[in-house]
Structure 1
Amino acid sequence: MNASPLTAVVVTYDSAHALPDCLGALQWEGVPAIVVDNASGDGSAELAERLGARVLRNAMNEGYGRANNRGVAAADTPLVLIVNPDVVLDEGAAAALVAAAGRYPEAGLLAPRLVEADGRLFFQPRSLLSPYLHNDAGILRLPEGDCCAPFLSGAALLVRRDAFLALGGFDEKIFLFYEDDDLCRRMADAGHALVHVHAAVARHGRGGSSAPAPGRIYRARWHQAWSRAYVSRKYGLADPAPAMLARNAVKALGAALVFNRRRMARYGGSAAGAFAAWRGADALAREGLGE
């Protein structure tokens, strides 16, 4: 049995470039790590083992939510820190999160102050799915201390393991994107608070969890559009798929006319994901995964 009240779960997919800093910071904080590797081709799993992490290997890329669910289930501590490979904890961050979990027993999810690579503080003032703390205008007032929030990013998220498992963890129908919005909504609906912990600082190299590869932009944008449509329908919101399809198809066509491949991938992926959601396609089936 782990003597610490906290275990970190890190999901990797071609993340070897980011792992030394992420796992090194966790080790410095005294937080044992479980790395769930989504069939990386860059030696991420082997590197994580050399760095002292416990490694669970998936035979295929299972996606973000399913892989994290496996990691949280394998942990043996009451608190689990879900952390992306491109997130590095500042000194004292883990202890501050654990202390906050003790101060706020009503909190089901807690998140550190997430600082982006450009020094900007990530704090989302509203969420597509937020059932409380309404802020329809999206007015951003950055916190100066601990506070409740409508949304906490899955890039670095402390969960109470029992509450997380009682809710079924992340929705496994989602391969990528909006899993954290959905989890925040279900935690709030279950009566748990979502708490931003200002004294805990984590540095986020946004978009750096996986190494660049051909087709990755298209794939990510496909899932982003599909998942937005899926969670909207799940909670009775207006289906955004038709509007996303029309808007992004026009942009993809414009990008094709000027031979801008990056924009073609971005907007083409969004249009394709929206179309797939509109016609009822399954995101897991696209990735060769069963239910």
Structure 2
Amino acid sequence: MEKAAAIEAVVVAHDSAEVLPACLAAFRREGVPAIVVDNASGDGSAEIAERGGARVLRMDRNEGYGRANNAGIAASGAEFVLIANPDLVLDEGAVAAFRAALAAYPEAGLYAPRIIEPDGRYFFQARSLLSTFLTNPRGASCQPEGDCCAPFLSGACLLLRRETFLALGGFDPAIFLFYEDDDLCRRVADAGLALVHVHDAVARHGRGKSSAPAPGRIFRSRWHQAWSRAYVSRKWRLPSPALSMFLLNGPRTLLALASFRPALVERYAGSAAGAWAFLRGRSALAREGVE
């Protein structure tokens, strides 16, 4: 009997103490060892990860999602790495389904589970800003009923060969947060490798619960979404959305201020500020003090 491929999970945590125990317990149940890359958490996430049986890589500062994953995957010695958000929990049998997919589709470069959202629906993004195939320009939604190739797989959970990840240069280190998965998917596809949705590998995603709530979190999140979208658009020679995002969200911010709704103000102001920062040539890493 052929020996099963070694799989190791890599989980990036930042103030993820509330969700880490369930995430790591599922990996233990599935027989998958885990590396937790702790992005300078202040809530004891690293200690919780150690108690949960994970190997912990402690970062001196918050390096962002992609850069921390790069460090964790470099530290792994497994043939395959399973990238997962800390608020993601694998269903029983998910790893067996992944192994079946590895055998059935050995030519693929990326595999992702059927991700179930908190409301019971499952996530499947039928288009990507960067996809050059299965482009679905109108964004028609069609939920698959089995395994299929996809234009995009969510960075909330990805399985791939460690060798492939390293050969492609890992996640783009210039991105602090958001669109690093779109960028990786594009590079995998450009390398001639398929992106496969594995329907029988099921994972439950908390969506937005990876980190504890903190003041300014909405602003910061929207800043990085706007900046990263502009960055990957420039990287892949697409029309820049930066100016239009700034012109759209600037007035929205003023209207939101009149509504006295702080969350709405943060949302629009963050998007406008991220787009403006990109237009001025400021990097995401500079904003976070990582450079």
Tell me the TM-score normalized by structure 1. 0.98
Give the Å deviation of 1:73.
Answer: 0.9
Q: Which amino acid aligns with 1:264?
A: V
Q: Which residue of 2 aligns with 1:235?
A: 236
Q: Which residue of 1 aligns with 2:163?
A: 162
Q: Which residue of 1 aligns with 2:269?
A: 268
RMSD (Å) for aligned C-alpha atoms = 0.9
CA–CA separation in structure 1 for the residues paired with 2:162 and 2:231: 25
Q: Which amino acid aligns with 2:183?
A: D
Give the Å deviation of 1:102.
Answer: 2.0
Write the mapping of 1:154-233 to structure 2, written as runs, cut at 5 A: 154-233=155-234
CA–CA separation in structure 2 for the residues paired with 1:225 and 1:74: 31
Secondary structure in 1 matching 2:141: coil
Q: Which residue of 2 aligns with 1:288?
A: 289
Q: Which residue of 1 aligns with 2:7?
A: 6
CA–CA separation in structure 2 for the residues paired with 1:211 and 1:275: 27
1:80-104, Cα deviation, whole Å (9 max, x unpaired): 1000011000001012112211211
Give the Å deviation of 1:279.
Answer: 1.5
Secondary structure in 2 matching 1:72: helix
Identity %: 68
Secondary structure in 2 matching 1:208: coil
Q: Which residue of 2 aligns with 1:85?
A: 86
Could you list the runs of 5+ residues in structure 2 that have no partner in the other structure?
none
The alignment status of 1:94 with 2:95, answered yes or no, reads: yes
The alignment status of 1:145 with 2:146, answered yes or no, reads: yes
CA–CA separation in structure 2 for the residues paired with 1:98 and 1:216: 37
CA–CA separation in structure 2 for the residues paired with 1:202 and 1:258: 38
Give the Å deviation of 1:121.
Answer: 1.0
Q: Which residue of 2 aligns with 1:38?
A: 39
1:18-49, Cα deviation, whole Å (9 max, x unpaired): 01110001100000000000000000001100
Could you list the runs of 5+ residues in structure 1 that have no partner in the other structure?
none
1:212-237, Cα deviation, whole Å (9 max, x unpaired): 00011111110000000000011110
- The answer as to whether partners of 1:6 and 1:98 remain within 8 angstroms in 2 is no
CA–CA separation in structure 2 for the residues paired with 1:223 and 1:18: 23
Q: Which amino acid aligns with 2:149?
A: C
Q: Which residue of 2 aligns with 1:51?
A: 52
CA–CA separation in structure 2 for the residues paired with 1:180 and 1:76: 22
Q: Which amino acid aligns with 1:159?
A: L
Secondary structure in 2 matching 1:11: strand
Q: Which amino acid aligns with 2:11?
A: V
Give the Å deviation of 1:259.
Answer: 1.6
The alignment status of 1:29 with 2:30, answered yes or no, reads: yes
Give the Å deviation of 1:64.
Answer: 0.2
CA–CA separation in structure 1 for the residues paired with 2:289 and 2:121: 37
CA–CA separation in structure 1 for the residues paired with 2:80 and 2:103: 11
Moved more, 8-17 or 259-268: 259-268
Q: Which amino acid aligns with 1:64?
A: Y
The alignment status of 1:75 with 2:92, answered yes or no, reads: no
Q: Which amino acid aligns with 1:162?
A: E
CA–CA separation in structure 1 for the residues paired with 2:11 and 2:49: 10
Q: Which residue of 2 aligns with 1:249?
A: 250
Give the Å deviation of 1:4.
Answer: 6.1
Q: What count of residue pairs does the alignment treat as equivalent?
A: 288
Q: Which residue of 2 aligns with 1:109?
A: 110
Q: Which amino acid aligns with 2:31?
A: G
- The answer as to whether partners of 2:79 and 2:163 remain within 8 angstroms in 1 is yes
Secondary structure in 1 matching 2:48: helix
Q: Which residue of 2 aligns with 1:17?
A: 18
- The answer as to whether partners of 2:5 and 2:80 remain within 8 angstroms in 1 is no
CA–CA separation in structure 1 for the residues paired with 2:200 and 2:94: 7
Q: Which residue of 1 aligns with 2:67?
A: 66
Give the Å deviation of 1:125.
Answer: 0.5
CA–CA separation in structure 2 for the residues paired with 1:51 and 1:108: 30
